[in-house]
Amino acid sequence: MIKISYVRSLLAAHILICLLILSGCDNRDIFDVKYDDIKSDQILCDPPGQPHNIPSNIYVNPKNLLDTSWLMDRRYDQIGDSSSFSVFCAFYFTNVLERTGIDFKHRIVDDAGKTYKPVHYDHGNGLAVADVDSDGLHDIYFVNQIGANQLWRNLGNGQFEDITYYAGVAMDDRVSVAASFADINNDGFPDLYVTSTRFGNILFQNDGSGKFNDITQQSGLGYQGHSSASVFFDYNNDGLLDLFLTNVGQYTTDEEIYIEISEGLKDYESGKYHFYSGFPDAFTGHTKPERTEHNKLFKNLGDGVFLDVTQKSGLVDHTWSGDATILDVDQDGWLDLYVLNMQGNDKYYRNIAGLYFEENPAMFDKTPWGSMGVKVFDYDNDGSADLYVTDMHSDMYENIEPSREKFKSRVKWPDLFLMDGGKSIFGNAFYRYSGPGVFEERSDDLSLENYWPWGPSIGDLNADGYDDIFVTASMNYPFRYAANSIFLNDQGKTFRDSEFILGIEPRIGRNTATPWFVLDCSEYDFDHQDCVKGNLTDHNVVWGASGSRSSVVFDIDLDGDLDIIVSDFNGVPMVFTSNLSDETKVNYLKVGLTGIDSNTNGIGSTVKVYSGGEVYTKFMDGKSGYLSQSILPLYFGLGEFEEVEKIEIFWASGVYQTVSGPLETNRIIQIVELSD
């Protein structure tokens, strides 16, 4: 048995550096952000231009983590550029994690840490939100690799309590990847589906009180493989949510590694875990047909039972898929699928009357080569669905300096490795809908490129009527830090880099590097690459780059503006609350849907809000950040307008409904579907 002890307490006195926090050692930014929550022992600030005082038992990999001047340069550039913004940006976010009571810590398998291999274990870190106990407040579910997943109940005062054990959703016997909330039986209570690597996926049914029962065996959804995202949608318009399950190709061997953890455990955690070791050549696995693991489509038969209809539906997709999204490209009333490919071209499948799916490669002629995240939204308020896709893998094999982060990658891989016929975009893509069956790719002129991105979350962060984008980023050990991004939508004309202006970066009160593992270079780990490269002796704490995976945007504190929850890989989450409502008058409307002929939450529906001569369009798809689905009301920022003239709902069932105004704003309105 291999034993690993996760060391935390010994690090408190050695936390690395003002250079890694990068506030410039001053205590204010342009919007008077206060650093009151930073404890004196959390930062060791050396004088500018002086060598950094790194304790002798700290080893940083890669060493260019220490060169973080580019973050300060970018901060000053953004602040300078903000004077030219026509979009409102005079507000900021504050990380209030310590005030919430949430003490979740994401832990990783060795293949993403000490014995690092380029396998897909470094992907999973799901985060999903729903009101699990019907008290009107949204609760948070964090996914873990080693140790329990955790469900945190919202108490309504900025506080949360851990109800994992009560709810029965710990799942500490497997390596979890992602999570989706979905009401599979239309009883009004959000159920929960969690994917895992090799140990089987789990379906939990909500009993209505916030307790969950494991119904995996009877449901037929206990697929065992290398699963990633679960996308619930109604593909045949029968009012029940079906499931499209994405599976990455086989990246693990049959060798089991056992881990024992003794510190920082919850009462409901065993401390004994295991996982399957990854192939050393996992990232070339897509060139090996024997490692293919195709995606799955499961039809909801009712009563918590699903049937595998993959073959019948024509969705035998062999891409290395991390995620997918629904969209009705041809507006024929049947939800289509856009399927991401981590290592190759994405796929678009047209839904033919709920009977089968037909691949249409011409719809998106060129796609990102290494797609990670995806979101459908209307960025310019023209009423059409646009598509944003983030590409991470294109950054993997090039040493991209900070000055080149806003450009596409210069990829020089052999054709055998690409296997794409020359039809790849090596970076993010933004597809603007410009007419029936026509999407134009505009990521560069909209300034939507960034480095090492994972998944996007969408929301109107400044409530001006245009949806903004938050993108998680960074690849962690052994790569350099990549900043999380906020792209503020400048009235549908372009997007403005704003993460430093709004207080998301640099990580206030947090380091851009974090302890990753401990090496005993004098004995057990003498041949480890870091012991050899660093000429290390005795016990050493190896630090790697911090990095975020999943995020959810919603109004956590119910003050009318949108906040952001971020789940970090091998770290603690961040809970960013916005002070927008303190800085300006916020006009908004939240729209919740209750389906009758449609599924309960109206997944697949489109909502249009008319206010002040403007029309704002949102798509109820449940997509929230990287890999996950949440059940949240649609948030409409209304800019200066204080009244809504009408709301139109195009339900997933095909029912068209109008709610006439004038309607009071700054509240949530729950709309019940008119039944035929």
Token pair belonging to 382? 């023209």
- The total number of residues written for the chain in this structure: 676
CA 630 distance to own-chain centroid: 11
Q: How far apart are CA 371 and CA 388, in angstroms?
A: 10
pLDDT tens-digit profile of 361-397? 888 989 999 999 999 999 999 999 999 999 988 887 7
Give the pLDDT score at 361: 86
How far apart CA 595 and CA 179 sit, in angstroms, is 23
Q: Which residue has the tokens 């499209």?
A: 244
Task: Judge whether residue 39 has pLDDT over 50.
Answer: no
pLDDT in tens, 519-547: 999 999 999 999 999 889 888 999 999 99
Give 611-630 pLDDT, tens digit per residue: 999 999 999 999 998 999 99
Q: What is the pLDDT of residue 508?
A: 62
In whole angstroms, how far apart are CA 592 and each of 508, 516, 547, 649? 34, 41, 32, 11
pLDDT of the residue at 227: 97
pLDDT at 471: 98
Look at residue 423 in the predicted model and tell me its pLDDT: 83
SS3 of residue 527 by DSSP: coil
pTM for this model (two decimals): 0.92
Of 3-7, 92-96, 230-234, 584-588, minimum mean pLDDT range: 3-7
Laid out side by side, the sheet with 160-162 consists of 127-130, 139-142, 150-154, 160-162
Q: What is the DSSP letter of 52?
A: P
Question: What is the C-alpha separation between 121 and 113, in angstroms, rounded?
Answer: 10
Centroid of chain to Cα 92: 21
What does the mean pLDDT of the chain come to?
Answer: 89
Percent of the chain with pLDDT over 70: 91
Tell me, what DSSP letter sits at residue 333?
S
What would the pLDDT profile of 437-488 be if each residue is shown by its tens digit? 789 999 999 999 999 999 999 999 999 999 999 999 999 999 999 999 999 9
Calpha distance 539→59 (Å, rounded): 10
Identify the weakest region by mean pLDDT among 317-331, 351-365, 391-405.
Answer: 391-405
- Residue pair 635/609 in contact (Cβ under 8 Å)? The answer is no
Chain centre to alpha carbon of residue 342: 15
Q: What confidence score (pLDDT) does residue 263 get?
A: 86
Tokens 């035929």, residue? 676
Mean predicted confidence (pLDDT) in 29-38: 27
HSE toward the beta carbon, residue 91, CA cutoff 13 A: 23
- Judge whether 572 and 551 are in contact, CB under 8 Å: no
Supply φ then ψ for residue 558, to 5 degrees.
55, 40
- pLDDT for the residue 505: 93
Q: What is the pairing mode between strands 160-162 and 150-154?
A: antiparallel
- pLDDT the model gives residue 4: 35
Report the distance separating Cα 125 and Cα 454, nearest Å. 11
Scan for tokens 């990521």, then name that residue.
Answer: 443
The closest alpha carbon to 652, from 620, 605, 582, belongs to 605
CA-based nearest residue to 456, from 387, 524, 546: 387
The end-to-end CA distance of the chain, in Å, is: 62
Which 3 state secondary structure label does DSSP give 163? coil
Rounded CA-CA distance 35/28 in Å is 7
Would you give the distance in Å from CA 252 to the centre of its chain? 23
